[in-house]
Chains A and B, each alone.
Chain A
Amino acid sequence: DGGITQSPKYLFRKEGQNVTLSCEQNLNHDAMYWYRQDPGQGLRLIYYSQIVNDFQKGDIAEGYSVSREKKESFPLTVTSAQKNPTAFYLCASSIVGRDIQYFGAGTRLSVL
């Protein structure tokens, strides 16, 4: 089955801790995206990448970091600098030059 896999489904972060959210896709898509979803605010773009070893900041990149070492993988690290990390995080992918984005099932991050 082709698709986007996000793990874990639930994640808890302690004060001062960095945590990493996994996103893997087997759709052979070049572009990948990370969004943050808060109640009543829609989806906000954190980072996106159109090619391996390259990525750009979205609208709310502060306190987050990413890497794109493989086409299939685009992990997101929520650093200790992100003071309000509690949210639902969504990963998406698309073919470069095509607008349609396909989403994973999401990771819900909470603070202990």
Chain B
Amino acid sequence: GENVEQHPSTLSVQEGDSAVIKCTYSDSASNYFPWYKQELGKGPQLIIDIRSNVGEKKDQRIAVTLNKTAKHFSLHITETQPEDSAVYFCAASPRSGNTGKLIFGQGTTLQVKP
């Protein structure tokens, strides 16, 4: 079935450094790839997304890259700040028609040390 693998499961960086989280997906027909940030005890919030007709998208300190051939996409956070500490999830929309379903990765816990 459809699957999204996310790595690493935990990531610790110093404030000001960059952080990179990587995901691979199995369904080559997937065409939408969002990234969500979840703070402790809260629901996930969309931070950036990309569609399959685009290779890269940026929003201030956050960027996402997509390699359709390799079925791989990544989240890049530059100049990390302590408030970036959270769990990050990638997701992909599977082949199964216009259901709006998303398949989520396992999550990455990012810790930014002051």
Contacts and interface: CB of A to CB of B under 8 A. Distances in A.
Interface residues of B, number: 24
B100 A101 contact: yes
A92 B101 CA distance: 11
A50 interface: yes
A37 B2 CA distance: 18
Interface string B39-51: 0011111100100
Contacts of A50: 99-100
B46 A40 contact: no
Contacts of B44: 43, 90, 103
Contacts, number: 63
Contact of B100 (A41, A99, A104, A106): A99
B85 interface: no
Contacts of B14: none
Interface in A45-88: 45, 48, 50, 56, 58
A105 B105 CA distance: 19
Contact of B98 (A35, A97, A100): A97
Interface residues of A, number: 29
Interface majority SS on B: helix, strand, loop or mixed? loop
B32 A42 contact: no
Contact of B45 (A35, A96, A103): A103
A104 B41 CA distance: 11
A40 B108 CA distance: 9
Given A42-B89, A99-B34, A48 B99 contact: yes
Given A40-B107, A43-B89, A104-B43, A99 B32 contact: yes
Given A50-B99, A99-B102, A101-B46, 10 more contacts: A40-B9, A42-B89, A48-B99, A50-B100, A90-B44, A96-B98, A99-B100, A103-B45, A105-B43, A106-B41
Interface of A: 4, 6, 31, 33, 35, 40-45, 48, 50, 56, 58, 90, 92, 94, 96-106
Shortest Cβ-Cβ A-B pairs, 6 listed? A103-B43, A99-B32, A42-B104, A43-B104, A42-B106, A105-B43
